[in-house]
Amino acid sequence: MIVFFGPAGAGKSVQGQILAARMGWRWLSAGQLLRDTKDVALLHVMHEGKMVPHEAITKIMGEAISKSANINQLILDGFPRLLEQAKWLTDSQPAHGRSVALVIVLEVPREELLKRLEIRGRADDTPEAIDERLKIYRIEMYPVLNYLTEQNVPIVHIDGTGSVGQVHDRVVAELTSRELV
């Protein structure tokens, strides 16, 4: 499995989808899986803007990973976000018959994120909201990255600035150098 990390606007989903399409892999977005759920109670929780319980996210992600058993490689986007999810992911590797081959952290400066999110045009993408999301991202991600490092999961930081193609070339070069493509 390849895990993409980065704040909102870093390009995780775009890069993950391009990579999946190009390589015949499966892109698994925690956010998309949650939006596609048929679980009425879960949809209600999300509609109220509340945090989805850890158990619900790991259940949905576990099912998606299991359904992808015949796919060569999986790309995880937006998961794990919390330390307990990272622990679940590493603990469940044997059950899924997969390991985390690489974590790719897309690094994008705040000013670039602001520009990208302005173009995206969501109402909640104000500079104040973006700064709050960046703060939460840092608070959540550092413990996850530290834990994965302790578990000997390879982590690489890739420059996420430039065109989609330029970033994709950097991602593919890294995967190639690690013999993952």
User: Which residues line the annotated binding site for ATP?
Assistant: 120, 162
Q: Which secondary-structure segment (H or E) carries 4?
A: strand 2-5
* Numbered residues of the known binding site: 35, 78-81, 85, 120, 122, 133, 162
* Numbered residues of the known binding site for AMP: 35, 78-81, 85, 122, 133
Q: Contact at 8 Å (CB) between 58 and 88? A: yes
Q: Contact at 8 Å (CB) between 104 and 5? A: yes
* DSSP string across 30-80: HHHHHHT---HHHHHHHHTTPPPPHHHHHHHHHHHHHHTTTSS-EEEES--
Q: Contact at 8 Å (CB) between 160 and 106? A: yes
